[in-house]
Amino acid sequence: MNGSESKKKIVLARRGFLSAVSGGALAFTIPGVLGGCGGEESEEGSGGGGGGAASGESKSFLLSVGDTIGYDKSEMRVGAGDEVTVSIQHTGSMGVESMGHNFVLLKKDVDMTSFATAAIQAADNGYIPADRADEIIAHTSLIGGGEQDSVTFQAPSPATYKYLCTFPGHYSSMNGDFIVS
């Protein structure tokens, strides 16, 4: 069992290598996890049974925020299935009531403005609207100056997702693209 499994992996890895030569960086996606963007290759890879072993990499991001309305990053790039940790660090001195920040990653077709507007009503829940929790992939808590928080989650399927700070009035300046390929 183990022998044939590792043999299969070698074959897949070689395929990945060969198409990397002809097809460029895109082919470095781990074989077998090609979510469908690979076209021809995904058919070959999907029969591979097993699973688990070929999950994504670990990726970490640090969002630095201060007493101003802004993130220091406007995009993050990961691969589908990666284990992603996003940390947010508030280097300012203002309190959470006046300059709170968070990181909220929305599911694909969620309207950011609509979500942020609903969040204004959720002050008692860190500006996370409980009735729209199913529109969120991951979020940190709301933090003030000197605080930090982090959240770890699995990157969803390939697409561009929006992240934002849901503190009232912040989202239009505090948002970015979370790009999964």
To Cu ion, the closest distance from the beta carbon of 101 in angstroms equals 4
Query: Is residue 167 a contact point for Cu ion (CB under 5 A)?
Result: yes
147 Cβ contact list (under 8 Å, min separation 6): 90, 96
Residue 48 or 168 having the CB closest to Cu ion: 168
Residue 84 or 165 having the CB closest to Cu ion: 165
Query: Is residue 139 a contact point for Cu ion (CB under 5 A)?
Result: no
Residue 34 or 165 having the CB closest to Cu ion: 165
Residue 103 or 161 having the CB closest to Cu ion: 103
Query: Is residue 170 a contact point for Cu ion (CB under 5 A)?
Result: yes
Residue 133, judged by CB atoms within 10 A of its CB (0-12, 13-18, 19+), counts as exposed
To Cu ion, the closest distance from the beta carbon of 110 in angstroms equals 18
First to last CA, the chain: 32
DSSP labels for 30-98?
PTT---STTTHHHHHHHT----STT---EEEEEEEE-SSS--S-SEEEE-TT-EEEEEEEE-S-S-HHH
Spatial separation of the C-alpha atoms in residues 160 and 162, rounded to whole Å: 7
The interface mask with Cu ion, positions 58-97, x = CB under 5 A, is: ----------------------------------------
| DSSP-derived secondary structure letter, 12 | H
Among 90, 101, 139, 162, indicate the residue that binds Cu ion (CB under 5 A): 101
Residue nearest to Cu ion (CB): 165
Residue 12 or 174 having the CB closest to Cu ion: 174
Where on the chain is the footprint of Cu ion (CB under 5 A)?
A: 101, 165, 167, 170, 174
